[in-house]
Structure 1
Amino acid sequence: MSCDQRYPFPQVFLVDEGGGQRSPATPPNLIPCWSFPQARETVRSHSKSRGCMGVSCSAAMIVLMLFLLVFAALGFEAWQILRLQEKLKNVEKVRTDTHTHTHTHTQSTLQNFVFFKNGILHCVEYFLEKTKKPAAHVLGRIVHQPSQMTLRWEPKAGQAFTSGEVAYKIEDGALQVNESGLYHVYSRVELIFKNCQPTSSFDHVVFVRRAGQSKLLTLMEAHRSGFCVQKPNGPWTAENYLGGGLQLMKFDRVYVNVSHPTYLSHSHYGNFFGLYKI
C-alpha cells in the first residue's frame, strides 16, 4: 500500500518515559501506512466456513447420510423380494409334486356332460373338488318293455357319471340323493312319431319318491301336442326339456316318466337325465 506524499501531514514525535522528545521513528516526509489484516482474516475465515462446493460440511454430511439411508432401504427391500421369490419357488415345487401324485384323482373328478335345452347345445364342465360335489348325469337307454313308463338310464357310458352323495339305482332308474339341499334337476326326452297325427301328443314328468311317504311327488311336468300340423301322416321328431332348482331331502329318489316310451329315439345324447347340488 503506497501513500500520496503531496499532502502535508503533521510530524509525529515519540516521547520516552522521561518526558524527553525523541526523534521520529520515520522520516517526517513519510507518512506511515497501515493495512487491515483483521478484515482480511475475517474474509478468509468466511471463505473457509463455506467448505464443500459452497455448502457447509455439516449440511453435506446430512445429505450423505440421507443417501445412505435410502440405499440401505432399497437394499433391504431387494433382499425381501428375493426371499419371497425363493418361498414362491418352494411352494410351486410342492404343488408340482402334489399334482404328480394326485393327477389320476383330479382327472377322475373333472367331468364334462352335454345336454340340449330348447334345441340349443350346451356344454357344462364340472370340476369336482376333493369332497366331490353331489352330481349325476345319465344317458338314455332303450328297454324293450312297452308298458314301462319310468325310464332306465346308462350311468357310465359316454359322458355319463355319478359323483358325491348321488347314486344311480339300476333296479328302478332313480337318482338317489344322500344329502339334503337345493338341486338343479333336468331331463330331456326325444320322441320319433313314424305316423304323426294332428292329435299326437306325449307327457314328460319328473317326480320324486320320498322316504316315509307313499305318495309320489311331481317335481316338473310338460304336455306336448300340436307338433304334427305341418306334416300329417308322416314321420316327425318331437322333444321336450324340463329343468329347474328344487329342494330335495336326504334319500329322495328322482325319476323320469314318458307317456310313450316306445317312441323314444335311440340317441344317447337326445335322452338324458341329471341333477347337481347348487
Structure 2
Amino acid sequence: MSYDQKYPFPQVFLVDEGGGQRSSATPPNLIPCWSFPQARETMRSHSKSRGCMGVSCSLAMILLMLFLLVFAALGFEAWQILRLQQKLKNVEKVEHDLVTEFHAPQKQIGLYNPDSNGEEKTEEKMKKPAAHVLGRIVHQPSQMTLRWEPKAGQAFTSGAVAYKIEDGALQVNESGLYHVYSRVELIFRNCHPTSSFNHVVFVRRVGQSKLLTLMEAHRSGFCVQKPNGPWTAENYLGGGLQLMKFDRVYVNVSHPTYLSHSHYGNFFGLYKI
C-alpha cells in the first residue's frame, strides 16, 4: 500500500490484555507529527483575538479617540475663526464711525440751529450761553448802532447766543438772567467844555415794536482841562438783566465817528448767570 511521505499518520498502538504494548504497524522510520491539531488550535486562538471587524477592540477604541480629538480641534478652530471675524466687524464699525464723525461738517460756534420743534439741539444746550465781540469801525456817520467783530482776537459766541452780522445784535435763544456789558472809547480831536456823548444798550423783543432800553450813560464835562485839544473819553455799562428767548441786544453811541480804532477799547458781551 503506497502513502505520501509528506502527510505522516500518527502511530497506532495495540494494547493486549496484559497491559503491554505492541509496536504499531507504522514503519519505524516515520516520526509522529502533531502539527495539524496544533495548527488548528492556533487558528482558533487567532479567531478569538479578532473581535471588531478583524481589528482588536483596544485598537478600535484608540482610533475612535483620535478621530474625536481631531473633530474637537476642528470645532475649536472654527469657533476661534468666528470670534476673530466678529472682532474684525466691530473694529471696522468703530473705524467707520470715527471717519464719519471726522468728515462730518462741524457746527460753527454761536450759530443757532433749531430742530423741527424750534428747540436747540442737545450739543448746543450743553454749552453755556455767552458772547464777547470786539469793536469794528464802520464809516457810516449816520449809523449809531455799532457793528462788531465776532471772531477776531478773543471774540467768541457760545451756546444759545448768536451774533447777527446784518444789524450788529447779539441774539439770545434761551430765556434767563444774563450779565450784559459794553465799553466804548471815543477820541475828541477838538474837545471843549460842552462836548458829550451817550452810550446806550437796548433790546428789540419779539412781538414789541418799541425798543426797550436796558442801560444808558451820558458823559459830559470831560474836556475842562484841555479845551479845544484832543481828549479820550470812555464809558462802561454792565449789569444783570432778565432777557427773553429771541431777544436781540444792541449798543448805540451818539458819536460813532469818534470811536477809537482800538478793538480792545470797544467791546460788547453777555453771558447767562
Give the alignment's TM-score, normalised by structure 2: 0.56
Residue 262 of structure 1: CA displacement?
0.1
- CA spacing shift, 1:34–1:94, aligned 2, 3 Å: closer
Residue equivalent to 1:226: 221
Residue 44 of structure 1: CA displacement?
87
Paired with 1:39 and 1:234, the residues of 2 have a C-alpha distance of 146
- CA spacing shift, 1:11–1:33, aligned 2, 3 Å: closer
Residue 265 of structure 1: CA displacement?
0.1
Residue 97 of structure 1: CA displacement?
17
After alignment, is 229-238 or 58-67 more displaced? 58-67
Aligned partner of residue 37 in structure 1, secondary structure = helix
| Structure 1 contact 3–31 (Cα < 8 Å) conserved | no
Residue 268 of structure 1: CA displacement?
0.2
Paired with 2:38 and 2:225, the residues of 1 have a C-alpha distance of 125
Q: CA RMSD in A?
A: 11.4
| Structure 1 contact 189–272 (Cα < 8 Å) conserved | yes
| Structure 1 contact 151–257 (Cα < 8 Å) conserved | yes
Paired with 2:198 and 2:4, the residues of 1 have a C-alpha distance of 138
Structure 1 residues 97-116: Cα deviation after superposition (integer angstroms, max 9, x where no partner): 99999999x99999xxxxxx
Paired with 1:45 and 1:226, the residues of 2 have a C-alpha distance of 137
| Structure 2 contact 188–258 (Cα < 8 Å) conserved | yes
Residue 81 of structure 1: CA displacement?
40
Equivalent pairs counted in the alignment come to 259
Residue equivalent to 2:81: 81
Residue 225 of structure 1: CA displacement?
0.2
| Structure 1 contact 2–33 (Cα < 8 Å) conserved | no
After alignment, is 49-58 or 168-177 more displaced? 49-58
| Structure 2 contact 125–159 (Cα < 8 Å) conserved | no
Residue 84 of structure 1: CA displacement?
33
| Structure 1 contact 197–229 (Cα < 8 Å) conserved | yes
Aligned partner of residue 140 in structure 1, secondary structure = strand
Paired with 2:193 and 2:52, the residues of 1 have a C-alpha distance of 108
| Structure 2 contact 182–267 (Cα < 8 Å) conserved | yes
Structure 1 residues 17-39: Cα deviation after superposition (integer angstroms, max 9, x where no partner): 99999999999999999999999
Aligned partner of residue 45 in structure 1, secondary structure = helix
Residue 131 of structure 1: CA displacement?
0.9
Residue 235 of structure 1: CA displacement?
0.3
| Structure 1 contact 204–257 (Cα < 8 Å) conserved | yes
Residue 275 of structure 1: CA displacement?
0.3
- CA spacing shift, 1:75–1:11, aligned 2, 3 Å: closer
Structure 1 residues 37-58: Cα deviation after superposition (integer angstroms, max 9, x where no partner): 9999999999999999999999
Residue equivalent to 1:259: 254
After alignment, is 57-66 or 36-45 more displaced? 36-45
Residue 228 of structure 1: CA displacement?
0.2
After alignment, is 79-88 or 226-235 more displaced? 79-88
- CA spacing shift, 1:96–1:15, aligned 2, 3 Å: same
Residue 276 of structure 1: CA displacement?
0.3
- CA spacing shift, 1:70–1:34, aligned 2, 3 Å: closer
Question: Are 1:188 and 2:183 an aligned pair?
Answer: yes
- CA spacing shift, 1:203–1:19, aligned 2, 3 Å: farther
| Structure 1 contact 5–29 (Cα < 8 Å) conserved | no
Residue 259 of structure 1: CA displacement?
0.1
Paired with 1:227 and 1:167, the residues of 2 have a C-alpha distance of 36
Residue 147 of structure 1: CA displacement?
0.2
- CA spacing shift, 1:33–1:78, aligned 2, 3 Å: closer
After alignment, is 151-160 or 59-68 more displaced? 59-68
Query: Which protein has the larger Cα radius of gyration, Structure 1 or Structure 2?
Result: 2
Structure 1 runs of 4+ aligned residues shifted over 2 Å read: 1-104, 106-110
**Identity among equivalent pairs (%):** 91
- CA spacing shift, 1:55–1:13, aligned 2, 3 Å: closer
Residue 263 of structure 1: CA displacement?
0.1
Structure 1 residues 163-206: Cα deviation after superposition (integer angstroms, max 9, x where no partner): 00000000000000000000000000000000000000000000
Paired with 2:220 and 2:59, the residues of 1 have a C-alpha distance of 97
Paired with 2:234 and 2:77, the residues of 1 have a C-alpha distance of 66
Unaligned runs of 5+ in 1: 111-128
Residue 133 of structure 1: CA displacement?
0.2
